[in-house]
Amino acid sequence: MKPKKHQALLLLSGGLDSLLAAKILLAQNIKVFGLIFKSCFFSAEKSKSAAEQLGIPYQVIDFSEKHLKIIKNPPHGRGKAANPCIDCHLLMLKHAKKLLEKGSFNFVATGEVLGERPFSQNKQALDLIAKESGLKDRLLRPLSAKLFSPTLPEKKGWVNRDKLMAIQGRQRHIQIKLAKKYKLTYPQPAGGCILCEPEFAKKLFELFDKWPKCSGEDIKLLFLGRHFWHPAKSRTRKFRFAKASFAGRGALATKIVLGKNEEENEKLAKLAQKGNLIIEPANFPGPTALIRGEKITSQTIKKAKSLILTYSKKQSTSPTFSETQK
């Protein structure tokens, strides 16, 4: 009789670490199922490509609404920018625990590496995540497993601890060597989560400050164009970068977004919602402006047209504009 294959539910980000975690488990004859998350801050495409490369089944969970709430008010704080990594991982692992409790899987695995990220992957943070997620010793981190006490999969013999790793720190030499061994194609680590980028965090915190009840549709605008507020000065107190305390009194602030190129102009037009105003140059080439806010005034429209002219080439004729109310 063939030995029973045990099943691991793996959080699959699509990065090198999660790819390697899958490979290490697959090498031990463990069935691996990829759990992929998407939100208004990241898509599932990279993770789906990773699952296809690995040849494993997967499920995509859209947790945009819950994720946005966590980013606005993370119980465990943020890293250097807008990244609430501990709470983000907890949210994912709590979803994983619900699937685990249905009985199809034996344990949950991640590609986390001890010490790779100072805020969310230090020993204290990783222990906290295992505990607060409710997974406890049913959470296995194959890349750093030997640096922790044996987990349930190791104690039960579902996983051979001797074939797990003891990687720690920010250097990725071991991971790159393993990737060559397994012939993996993987994305470069540069870039990473958009929430870790300081410039994006500033735009995000300003959005939270002026529109505390912003939705995922408002977040989408942050990935496009040049952003301006009218009036420029908010009624809120100044936000505190990386700690972000939001007063919630800036509901009258209106946002103007200018496209940087033709592609962005088209995307802005598609992102327009009911009540938004689209302004386009009628007799000269220039950026499209999207105006969004509770009350769009004549002064805001005048400001948007002025900005369009500022970011357009000089025209010999008198400029005219077309306006489309959504």
Domain ranges of the chain: 7-182, 197-325
Alpha carbons 125 and 115: distance in angstroms, whole number: 10
Instruction: Tell me what pLDDT residue 232 has.
Output: 73
Instruction: Tell me what pLDDT residue 297 has.
Output: 94
How large is the average pLDDT for residues 203-232? 94
Alpha carbons 304 and 323: distance in angstroms, whole number: 11
Alpha carbons 324 and 117: distance in angstroms, whole number: 47
Given a cut of 90, is residue 228 above it in pLDDT? yes
Instruction: Tell me what pLDDT residue 247 has.
Output: 43
Residue 192 banded pLDDT, cuts 50, 70, 90: confident
pTM of structure: 0.89
At residue 271, what is the residue type? L
Residue 103 banded pLDDT, cuts 50, 70, 90: confident
> Mean pLDDT across the chain, nearest whole number?
91
257-304 residue pLDDT tens? 999 999 999 999 999 999 999 999 999 999 999 999 988 999 999 999
**Among all chains, which residue has been given the structure tokens 């720690």?**
168
Give the neighbor-by-neighbor strand order of the sheet with 226-230: 226-230, 254-258, 289-292, 277-281, 321-325
Residue 241 banded pLDDT, cuts 50, 70, 90: very low
CATH tag for 7-182 (out of 3.20.20.20, 3.40.50.620, 3.90.1170.50, 3.90.870.20): 3.40.50.620
How large is the average pLDDT for residues 232-237? 52
Given a cut of 60, is residue 313 above it in pLDDT? yes
Q: How far is CA 171 from CA 116, 188, 226, in A?
A: 8, 13, 36
